[in-house]
Structures are given as C-alpha cells and as structure tokens.
C-alpha cells in the first residue's frame, strides 16, 4: 500500500480527479449520501488550495482510501454545514485544530461489500494513523472529525484518545457524529 | 428539543419544542452567599440548580474541550432517552468477514433532552445460539460526558467510562432497542 499525502496544490490534477471520482463512488453510490455534487465526482467548497489530502493506493495504484484535512482557521464542513454536532459550542477557530472529513477506506473492487459500509480494509487503521500524523505535521494538537459513528470505534481500536462532541445527528437513517481527537 | 438555561443568578428559563415555557425563580437573598438548591420537575424532566460549591457544576455547559462535566449526583436527576439504534450488518468496523450469523451486533444511542445534550452510545450483541437470548453490552461506551468526583476533579478516562457503563446498566435499554430495531428493519 502506498500513501500520497499533500496539499491540493502539491497533488496532481489527475490524482485529485481520481480522489473525487472515488469519493463519488463511496459516498454517493455506496453510502447513498444526498450531496449537491457534479455527476461522477464528489467535490465541494471545502476542496480548495488549503485542503490536505491523504490518499491510500493499492499495488495496482488504485485508490482504496482517502481522508480530507482542513484548517479550522478557514471555513470548514462542521462549522458551515453541521454546527449542531458541536452541541452548542462555538466552532473552533485555531491553527492547532484541524478538521477530518470524508474519511473512507474501501476497495471498490472487493466483492460483496455490504451497503452503508465505508470501511472494509485491514488497512483502515493505517490510513487513520497516517492522517493523524499528517495533521500533526501541520501543527495540529487536536482534530475535530465529522463522520459516521464507525470512526469512534476505529479511533479506539487504533489507540487514540477521542471523545464525541455531542449526540449524533441522524442523516438518511444513519448517525453522524463529531469527535474530538487528541494529537500526541 | 428542550433547553434549560440559567439566565442569571435568580432566573431560570426552560423552553421546549411544544411551546416556550418560562420558569422564573426569584430568590430574595444574595445568591452568592446563600446555600440554594432547587429541584424542578416538569413533564417528567428534573433539573437541579445549586450554588453549592462551584455553581457551574450544576448547570449543563460544554467545556472548550467538548466535554460536559458533571458529578454523578447531578447526572442522576437528568433523564436519558433513546435516540437511535441500528445493526452492524456485517462487521463494518473491523473489516472482518462473517459467513454464518451466530450473533447480531449493533449500536444504540441515548441522549438527554437538555441543551446542551448529554450523549451516551454503546455497542451491543445478541447471541443467536443461546436459548435465553440476552442482549449484552460490548466494550466501553462513547460519550461527551466527563464525570467529576465530589471535589470537582475530572475522573480518568478509564474510570469515567467504567462509571458511565454502570449508569447504562441501570437504564432499561433493551426494550427501547428491540422496539426501534423492529420498526427499522422488519
């Protein structure tokens, strides 16, 4: 497995196009999220020049996982779209707090993937660790994530200190939660 | 959604989604020095306001680290209600493959109808091969609650989760879970 890590500016347009196509297949087609996104690519206003991507590829150089990191000093998903997940707390704005979103680890060529699954690989924890290390290199001391509740289980399995920010919000029948993650 | 706000030292406001209800409690003596404890019951909800010790500990608020800090005594009077439950269709979390369904696993979420809201979620399993099918809690819970001891010291993460697990065991959660799962999947 190979990881490609970098800012939007440092990653080639081809790789970014692959990421957006992969995210469309996972989040729109696989998970059924109703996102306002162009056909065949999942991209939004938070994919900009300051966005950091962590991308996992297999030996065939196909994407099998990705994550998105955003500085909270700029507009970010939780602040703009899901502020209620912070349970009344003002969205943080700090250079040492980064947001993790669009985290998935799924080999789309794997057969028999159940619906509503976004993590299916043993490498999921590796991707999570790579992502948190990447945030640390950007100066993060904490990460706030917005994700399905499965990420809480992953964080615990990987040994990270994390706790939820508030109750989950049920979206399309599935709970979405914000989590505070300590970066050590 | 209900919300509870201590507007100032002697006014308490409580609103609910069914309409806005204001409760005013006027305390004629100086709140700073008097020992005041009030327990309110309204539509099955209890809220306790006290200025014993650090006043903040008896009013729900979110710390900058995202935790709601409470003593168990205060938590005891805040009702928790079922929010959502679901099945893990496969082992979605750990990436394992299961050919034969020997047990059902899932999650359940409970929260308080306060603002801010206390959230506790946990995983459960049902062994399908056992004659007496019982639902069991799996692992430690997930929560935004950080319990404090009587001296307002935070419990350790491990102790906090252990105490929250004990609180879960006091909840009658299985009937809500079964009812919700039946509606959602059958």
Of B66, B115, B140, the CB nearest to A180: B66
Q: How many angstroms away from the CA of B140 is the closest CA of chain A?
A: 10
pLDDT interval class at B38 (50, 70, 90): very low
Comparing A31-45, B46-60, B126-140, the range with the smallest average pLDDT is B46-60
Q: Distance (Å, rounded) from C-alpha A94 to C-alpha A74?
A: 9
- Check A163 against B119: CB less than 8 A apart: no
DSSP state at residue A153: H
What is the value of ipTM here, to two decimals?
A: 0.90
Predicted local distance difference test score (pLDDT) of residue A114 = 67
The average pLDDT across B1-30 equals 42
pLDDT interval class at A34 (50, 70, 90): confident
Q: How many angstroms away from the CA of A88 is the closest CA of chain B?
A: 6
Q: Distance (Å, rounded) from C-alpha B59 to C-alpha B74?
A: 9
- Check A168 against B65: CB less than 8 A apart: no
Mean pLDDT of chain A: 93
Using the Cβ of A163 and the Cβ atoms of chain B, whether some distance falls under 8 Å is answered with yes
DSSP state at residue B150: T
Whether B23 has a pLDDT exceeding 80, the answer reads: no
B145-163: per-residue pLDDT in tens? Answer: 999 999 999 999 999 999 9
- Total length of chain A: 184
Residue A57: strand pairing partners:
A2, A63
A112-163: per-residue pLDDT in tens? Answer: 676 667 777 678 999 999 999 999 999 999 999 999 999 999 999 999 999 9
In terms of average pLDDT, the best of A168-172, B44-48, B162-166 is B162-166
């Amino acid at each position: 497995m190979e990881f490609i890590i970098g800012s939007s500016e440092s990653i080639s347009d081809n790789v970014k196009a692959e990421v957006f196509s992969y995210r469309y297949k996972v989040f729109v087609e696989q998970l059924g999220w109703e996102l306002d996104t162009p056909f065949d690519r999942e991209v939004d206003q938070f994919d900009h020049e300051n966005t950091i991507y962590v991308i996992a590829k297999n030996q065939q150089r196909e994407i099998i996982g990705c994550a998105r990191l955003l500085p909270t000093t700029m507009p970010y998903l939780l602040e703009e779209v899901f502020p209620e997940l912070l349970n009344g707390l003002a969205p943080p704005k700090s250079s040492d707090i980064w947001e993790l979103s669009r985290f998935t680890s799924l080999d789309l060529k794997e057969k028999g993937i159940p619906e509503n699954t976004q993590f299916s690989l043993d490498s999921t924890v590796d991707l999570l660790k790579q992502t948190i290390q990447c945030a640390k290199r950007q100066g993060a001391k904490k990460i706030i994530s917005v994700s399905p509740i499965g990420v809480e289980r992953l964080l615990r399995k990987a040994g990270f200190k994390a706790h939820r920010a508030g109750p989950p919000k049920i979206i399309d029948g599935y709970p979405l939660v914000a989590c505070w993650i300590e970066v050590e | 959604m209900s919300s509870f706000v201590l507007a100032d030292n002697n006014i308490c406001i409580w609103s609910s989604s069914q309409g806005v209800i204001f409760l005013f409690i006027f305390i004629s003596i100086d709140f700073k020095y008097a020992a005041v404890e009030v327990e309110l019951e309204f539509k099955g909800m209890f809220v306790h306001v006290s200025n014993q010790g650090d006043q903040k500990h008896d009013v729900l608020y979110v710390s900058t680290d995202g935790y709601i800090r409470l003593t168990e005594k205060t938590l005891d009077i805040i009702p928790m209600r079922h929010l959502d439950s679901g099945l893990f269709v496969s082992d979605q979390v750990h990436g394992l493959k299961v050919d034969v369904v020997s047990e059902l696993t899932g999650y359940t979420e409970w929260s308080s109808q306060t603002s801010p809201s206390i959230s506790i979620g946990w995983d459960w399993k049902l062994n399908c091969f056992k004659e007496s099918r019982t639902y069991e809690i799996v692992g430690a819970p997930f929560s935004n609650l950080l319990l404090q001891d009587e001296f307002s010291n935070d419990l350790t993460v491990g102790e906090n989760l252990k105490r929250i697990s004990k609180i879960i065991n006091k909840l009658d959660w299985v009937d809500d879970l079964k009812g919700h799962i039946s509606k959602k999947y059958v």
